[in-house]
Amino acid sequence: MKHAYCIVAFNNWTLLEKLIMLLDDERNDIYIHIDKNIKVYHIDHFKGFARYSRVFFLNRLSGSWGTPGLADIQLEFYKMATKTERYLYYHLLSGVCLPLKTQDEIHSFFDLHQGKEFVHFVSRPPVEEYIYKRYSLYHFFLKYVRGKGFFRKALLGVIGEKLSIMLQELFKIDRQSDIRDILSYGSNWSSVTHELAVYAVTQTDEIVKRTRHTFAPDECVLQTLVYHSDFKNNLYCKDYNDNYIANQRYIDWNRGYPYIWTANDYDELMNSGFLFARKFDMDTDSEIINRIYNEIIQKQQRD
């Protein structure tokens, strides 16, 4: 069965082109979302970098970090892809990710662990109070914090958000009290089975209702669905200890937010055992991107 790669892209278009070429395989279809707020040349341009994979584009939504838009995009990926074909796995990647293995190696890995859900958890629920407030309170002004212009960001955004939170805490607002004990969170980057992707789509109305005016809901939606269902029994990693082995994404939060990999990290990355890594940036260090790209392309050609 084929795999669906779902890519959330904001910038780094040369990197996105390389990512598409590394994923390009007759066993894969590629789905791409380019943020609505980003000016970019004709999106069909990216289709030219795939010779074997079909490339699909989602309708463009606004998905600034921290806003509910990212959770909406994830659900739209699942909705579109599950209607197109029944895939073995649905991989959510950012446009600044790269695979660290060839497609043969990646497919062999998922064939070996077929049926497992690759979802990352920071910890078992209940979550810490400061995390819980992301979802239990209304964040009405978040869109202004992420917006442009001093007046919108400073007055409507930062000040409005703080005053709103203070008032809600004063009146003890808690919009998620019924799921307090099962609300979970972790990385949104994941690889899930067809069954879990379909289940997430069936829960769209409930998810949208609960995530409106929350902060970073893309980091809790999948985790909460999994923890409160039988899919919990299928987790690849059941440690719930912030181990990124769980989703097979090598992401370093100790040296950055997250750390941007450089050429000095090449051996660490390629020997890590992970399938994917994030974050890369062409302006920060293009050498590491080109080295990984060349290594995997050459290895795929040899195989």
The 10s digit of each residue's pLDDT in 255-303 is 999 999 999 999 999 999 999 999 999 999 999 999 999 999 999 887 6
Helices (H), 52-193: 69-84, 103-112, 129-136, 142-145, 150, 160-170
**Residue percentage of the chain with pLDDT more than 90:** 86
pLDDT at 191 over 90: yes
Spatial distance between the Cα atoms of 238 and 213, rounded to a whole number of angstroms: 30
Residue ranges and CATH numbers for the domains of the chain are 3-126+182-302 (3.90.550.10), 138-173 (no CATH)
Yes or no: say if 293 and 263 are a contact pair by the CB < 8 Å rule: no
pLDDT at 119 over 80: yes
pLDDT digits (tens, 9 = 90+) for 25-40: 999 999 999 999 888 7
User: pTM of the entire structure?
Assistant: 0.95
pLDDT at 182 over 70: yes
Q: What are the backbone dihedrals phi and psi of residue 58, each rounded to the nearest 5 degrees, phi first?
A: -75, 155
Position 152 confidence tier, pLDDT thresholds 50, 70, 90:
low
